[in-house]
A and B are shown apart, each in its own frame.
Chain A
Amino acid sequence: MLTRTEQAKLALAEAGPTQPMTMIQALRSALDVTMARDDNVVVFGEDVGYFGGVFRVTEGLQQKYGKSRCFDAPINEGGIVGAAIGMGAYGLRPIVEIQFADYFYPAADQIISEAARLRFRSAGDFTAPITIRMPCGGGIYGGQTHSQSPEAIFTHVCGLRTVMPSNPIDAKGLLISAIECDDPVIFLEPKRLYNGPFDGHHDRPVVPWSKHELCNVPEGHYTTPLESAAVFRSGAALTVLTYGTMVWVSACAAAETGIDAEIIDLRSLWPLDIQTIEASVKKTGRCVVVHEATRTCGFGAELASMVQERCFYHLEAPIERVTGWDTPYPHAQEWAYFPGPERVGAAFKRAVEA
């Protein structure tokens, strides 16, 4: 099992010189690298063309690759995904953007009934090698429709791959893997991490990515394999299963409580890296699942039941889940809703004291 630093070094060695990049720049670099390598890669979505995207992820791509490779789409998520499926059937490799994960719902039929099932229902006659990027997650005063974490809706759908990075190096490597993957990939980007890591201390100034080693992104082509988790922090006291922004919150909770938590950044939510999870829980005997998404039938429920099935005789404490509450994402009550380091730390304590 490689640590973060080791992985970063490996990627660096493979892909030449590095540049300090934010998550946004890293994602843009992934698009740039794949568009340059493969003519069949096309990028489209609302405001992604001339303007370069509301989060600037696609900035400059239209200028560099032309309007037939990177273009604006009508405000119609079903159309964006449906057209991408048709392009995939033709032989292109489309990357589409849903402006906010909160707005994928109009495309649900195309994603669930079509993209996910094309290969199965046609016995491999047709496939959907598409990547659907969506900024997700809260912590930005986004209110109900700019903060959601809908990953459980996707992980429940057979035929989809769901991926979420937590830092610039992974963001680029995972996005290139997603684009090159022949299965449809839902690529969730925690927008709270776009400009810097966020540990849940909203009252402190944001530290930019340039202050963190995971910002040193190789300029060239490299991949971070799908279905591979990363041990973000190794520890002996308990295992934390998490992803996205909550990786950073969990690390902060470990530091503040002094509990020697092993924090696993799942990176690929489904299909996932079960071996890393199993090995860790069997080692620590304790497990806390942390995600921003609402609790009931959230992805944490699947994680908890898998750990229960596979590590039952190694467990020394009940599996804890720290998640968003079962309410729509509120505006004013942002920090009472968002599972910050205090709530996560309290769960760590309960788990080690049980």
Chain B
Amino acid sequence: MDQQQPPATPLQLHVPEPTGRPGVATDFSFLHVSPAGEVRRPPVDTPHSETQDLAYALIRVLDEQGRAVGPWVPDLDAVQLRRGLRAMMKTRIFDARMLIAQRQKKLSFYMQCLGEEAIAVAHSLALKAGDMCFPTYRQQGLLLARDDVSMVEMMCQLMSNERDPLKGRQLPVMYSYKRAGFFTISGNLATQFIQSVGWAMASAIKGDTKIASGWIGDGSTAESDFHTALTFAHVYRAPVILNVVNNQWAISTFQAIAGGESTTFAAKGVGCGIASLRVDGNDFLAVYAASVWAAERARRNLGPTLIEWVTYRAGPHSTSDDPSKYRPADDWQRFPLGDPIERLKVHLIGLGEWSPAQHEQARKELEAEVAAAQKEAESHGSLLDGHIPSAASMFEDVYRDMPWHLREQRQQLGV
């Protein structure tokens, strides 16, 4: 043995911790927030290797005063902005109503997207008819931003009632809307990420012009399907947008445990050979601009883009969760990127295209709209009052045609 060597120090296992816990304020300096307008906007045909800096910076358009600044200011007129604001408000009001309905036991379970409304709503504006999203359970904004998906029908799914388009087979929020480019939601995290890549590959195989948009949360990036999706998207240059919604939390687990400490989720894209952006997810204009950039890249056959949307999960994980057990109660108020609805509202007011009175008026209208939808949905029954799809329908759609053993089991149940 070499006598000169210092004695070996005992090794230590590193287990990341959030800075904030109940009663202790979070230090948000880990976010590395770039000032609005500061980050460059490269041409869409930029090679992935030249997006390295963008994966560590934060693309933002709206400044502290709500002005749109810098190279990412998108081409959106006041009509589109007002429509976007309204869709975000609708999403939030829908969520709030359904949360109450869950508390009243009209549905068994619910998941809000409080604080994350800008991401799905603004992203959906960058997509075209025929494109396909592969969402998680927290992108209801993709559906609520549209006019052609009825809230009543969505609520019937939530209530598992006789009008539930999924015939009572799925947990609430696990919607499926092929006609609206919204892939069937699975309880198994991350599985849809690689499926979105496969869908995009199919579009390329057929020489189509449609693109796919895959979705995943920060926590779920640790699943193998995340890495799989990046590999396949890169290898086959699939026309897909790979969205990572970093809302800082996976149930009680801080994003550092998913691998976010001292790095970014966008950086993982660059490492896999994918152009990657890190974007302020609470900035409606930035979300739209980055989505358009990625969509154009995909449509021009320039390959996939990974976008990390930096946001904050303002509400509980689900109606079964109590965040006061693991994080500060006032965390969202202190989150540096604020509230997406408030920020777009201030921007529109600054443009002279909106007013507090109009905002209040819109809120009232939407509340009435959502309440009316709920009333209609409830008229078709709910889990609570037993007006559920028939037990016989449980045996359908397992296969295209019902095999003998399922016919037999259905008879055994006497239905």
Contacts and interface: CB of A to CB of B under 8 A. Distances in A.
A56 B277 CA distance: 43
Contacts of A69: 205
Nearest to A271: B403
Interface stretch (A47-55, A79-87, A143-151, A340-348): A79-87
Given A82-B191, A118-B184, A90 B132 contact: yes
B195 A159 contact: no
A10 B34 CA distance: 73
B201 A82 contact: no
Given A83-B194, A123-B167, A126-B176, A89 B405 contact: no
Nearest to A160: B399
Residue of A85, A158, A181 with highest tally of chain B CB at under 10 A: A85
B348 interface: no
A69 B206 CA distance: 10
A113 B223 CA distance: 15
A79 B134 CA distance: 15
A114 B232 contact: no
B163 to A, nearest CB: 12
For this complex, into which size category does the number of interface residues on chain A fall? Answer: 35 or more
Interface string B151-167: 00000000000000111
A76 interface: yes
A105 to B, nearest CB: 12
Given A82-B198, A86-B194, A121-B166, A274 B397 contact: no
A125 B177 contact: yes
A114 B174 contact: no
B169 A78 contact: no
Interface string A15-37: 00000000000000000000000
A271 B401 CA distance: 11
B333 to A, nearest CB: 38
A354 B202 CA distance: 58
A82 B132 CA distance: 16
A347 B400 CA distance: 39
B225 A161 contact: no
Given A78-B228, A87-B202, A126-B183, A114 B405 contact: no
Contact of B184 (A88, A110, A121, A181): A121
Contact of B194 (A42, A79, A90): A79
A205 interface: no
A182 B400 contact: yes
A68 interface: yes
B198 A86 contact: yes
Nearest to B199: A86
Contact of B202 (A78, A90, A110, A124): A90
A141 interface: no
B225 A82 contact: yes
B372 interface: no
A338 B256 CA distance: 50
A122 interface: yes
A92 B200 CA distance: 11
15 contacts: A68-B205, A78-B225, A78-B228, A86-B201, A90-B203, A114-B195, A119-B397, A121-B170, A121-B174, A121-B176, A123-B397, A125-B165, A126-B176, A271-B404, A271-B405
Given A86-B199, A227-B403, 7 more contacts: A74-B231, A76-B231, A86-B197, A86-B201, A109-B191, A183-B399, A271-B405
Interface of A: 42, 68-69, 73-74, 76, 78-79, 82-92, 94, 106, 109-110, 113-114, 117-127, 158-159, 161, 181-183, 227, 271, 274
Closest CB pairs A-B (n = 8): A86-B198, A83-B198, A82-B194, A90-B202, A122-B184, A86-B195, A271-B403, A86-B199
